[in-house]
Amino acid sequence: MKDFVTRTASFLITSALLLTACNPTNLGPETTTNSTSTAPGPATAIPIGIAVAQTSNVALLGQEQVTGVRIAEKYFNDRGGVNGTPIKLVFQDTSGDEAGTINAFQTLISQSQVVAIVGPTLSQQAFSADPIANRAGVPVLGPSNTAKGIPQIGDYIGRVSAPVSVVAPNSVKAALKLDPKIKRVAVFFAQNDAFSKSETEIFQQTVKDLGLELITVQKFQTTDTDFQSQATNGINAKPDLIIISGLAADGGNLVRQLRELGYKGIIIGGNGLNTSNIFSVCKALCDGVLIAQAYSPELSSPINTEFRKAYLDLNQKEPPQFSAQAFTGVQVFVEALKALDSQTKIKTMPLPQLRTALNKQVLAGKYSTPLGEISFTSEGEIVQKEFYVAQIKMDPDGNNGKFVFLK
Ligand code: 1QQ
């Protein structure tokens, strides 16, 4: 019992400290720290929540998002933030699952009192955590949630990541351009992941629409490391093209094992393989994999030139799609906050009203981003014009590689 009391007391103290530390509306002695949802809107730095996977296998994707939003925070604060008030990103690691994402969202919404959230990394996580933000009236922009149905989760949910229906078909068309003789297609997908299930549907439909033959569909789990049986089944069906919908670690391993078992045809990777973090998994055997892109470093626009330079200076390589999309998520909130503040000083708005007004403003705006000119449908779906396909080019030793954009 004593132990319980001690532990409870220390939990309460820790919670109080956390609340004080995280609450951006805490201006010091004359302002009461208030964690209820009627607290006034931000008076110092404006807190924007970042809920992406910083740990687990999903961090192979989430890491690039952290880089992108950090560049955005500096970029926009260097240019005066929101009409003179800086923004402050508040990070909560979601890890790779739903429970971690729900926790991260709840902490950002109730304790950190963020005005909005950029996150999470996976659609699988979005389907369980976004409804919490939606009910709380907190605007969310998915930086990489591409499954069908994300904006339809609710009024407060949008995305800056174009859906699989728009992106995925481009890689199949590119494969046919590289090899017009492709006829027989094998499809692999992770059956425990919402994005992979959604993307494979689009791939399978595209294969049929292009008059190709879908010869086998092989299933796996994102937690799998051994793909011998699926890879053997797939290869035995004699495909000219293999299409994989999974995440980075499993996807990279599957590519490696397909090549080790002797498959020589073209491989298309879906969005979950869209990171140079797969290079350490499939090494030289990653070479040639085609992946559709919703971002090109070569896009010529003032903001992309600056974003690309900032990324290159920090990382000595071209910015990847996930960093560009995460940057864009922060950008959209900053520009919408600016527009809002020019109409009504956001410092005077109670937080719930600010969140609601921000959500409306996000949907009303047009943004010139590293992804090009974008806007949103009334449901929060991104409207974007430019898409690309890249092919992985590995050095022969397999230690370094890059994404080469196809013309
Ligand atoms: C999704 C995705 C992921 C593979 C991106 C990280 O597109 O979960 O929707």
Instruction: Write out pLDDT tens, residues 292-346.
Output: 999 999 999 999 999 999 999 999 999 999 999 999 999 999 999 999 999 999 9
For the chain, how far is it from start to end, CA to CA, in angstroms? 70
Verify whether ligand 1 is closer than 6 Å to residue 272 (CB atom): yes
Q: By the 8 A CB rule, do 143 and 160 touch?
A: yes
For the chain, give the number of residues: 407
Question: What sections of 283-350 are H helices per DSSP?
Answer: 302-315, 321-343
Residues 289 and 307 in one domain: no
Lowest average pLDDT, out of 37-46, 261-270, 305-314, 380-389, goes to 37-46
Which ligand 1 atom is at minimum distance from the Cα of 142? 9
Verify whether ligand 1 is closer than 6 Å to residue 123 (CB atom): yes
Say which DSSP state 318 is in.
Answer: P
> Given a cut of 80, is residue 103 above it in pLDDT?
yes
> Given a cut of 60, is residue 39 above it in pLDDT?
no
Task: Determine the angle formed by the axes of helices 248-260 and 228-236, rounding to 10 degrees.
Answer: 50
Verify whether ligand 1 is closer than 6 Å to residue 146 (CB atom): yes
Q: Given this model, what pLDDT does residue 389 score?
A: 98
Residues 371 and 392 in one domain: no
Q: Given this model, what pLDDT does residue 43 score?
A: 54
311 CA to middle of ligand 1, Å?
21
50 CA to middle of ligand 1, Å?
16
Verify whether ligand 1 is closer than 6 Å to residue 63 (CB atom): no
Whether 23 is covered by a domain: the verdict is: yes
Peptide bond into 120 cis (omega under 30): yes
199 CA to middle of ligand 1, Å?
9
Residues 289 and 255 in one domain: yes
Mean pLDDT of 39-61: 87
Pocket probe for ligand 1: among 56, 123, 276, 381, the residue whose CB has the most ligand atoms within 8 Å is: 123
Whether 368 is covered by a domain: the verdict is: yes
Q: Given this model, what pLDDT does residue 14 score?
A: 34
Structure tokens at 162: 């174009």
- Separation CA 319–CA 308 (nearest Å): 6
Verify whether ligand 1 is closer than 6 Å to residue 195 (CB atom): yes
371 CA to middle of ligand 1, Å?
17
DSSP 3-state of 382 = strand
- Separation CA 310–CA 52 (nearest Å): 21
> Given a cut of 90, is residue 274 above it in pLDDT?
yes
- Separation CA 300–CA 24 (nearest Å): 37
Ligand 1 atom 4 nearest Cα:
272
Q: Given this model, what pLDDT does residue 149 score?
A: 98
> Given a cut of 70, is residue 29 above it in pLDDT?
no
Residues 256 and 395 in one domain: yes
Q: Given this model, what pLDDT does residue 28 score?
A: 30
Angle, vertex CA 335, rays to CA 330 and CA 341, nearest 5: 125
375 CA to middle of ligand 1, Å?
20
Nearest to 281 by CA among 168, 404, 167, 394: 394
Residues 281 and 307 in one domain: no
What pLDDT, in 10s, does the model give residues 200-229?
Answer: 999 999 999 999 999 999 999 999 999 999
Say which DSSP state 42 is in.
Answer: P
56 sits in the region (left: phi over 0; alpha: psi -120 to 50; else beta) called left
- Separation CA 4–CA 86 (nearest Å): 42
Residue 320 burial (CB count, 10 A): 26
The β-bridge relationship of strands 372-376 and 367-369 is antiparallel
Pocket probe for ligand 1: among 65, 145, 321, the residue whose CB has the most ligand atoms within 8 Å is: 145
Residues 306 and 267 in one domain: no
Q: Given this model, what pLDDT does residue 23 score?
A: 35
Domain count, the chain: 2
Whether 179 is covered by a domain: the verdict is: yes
> Given a cut of 80, is residue 21 above it in pLDDT?
no
* Domain extent at residue 308: 2-162+301-376
Which ligand 1 atom is at minimum distance from the Cα of 150? 9
Whether 382 is covered by a domain: the verdict is: no
Distances (CA, A) of 385 to 151, 304, 330, 367, 374: 18, 15, 20, 12, 8
Mean pLDDT of 9-19: 33
Average pLDDT, the chain: 91
> Given a cut of 90, is residue 12 above it in pLDDT?
no
Q: Given this model, what pLDDT does residue 8 score?
A: 34
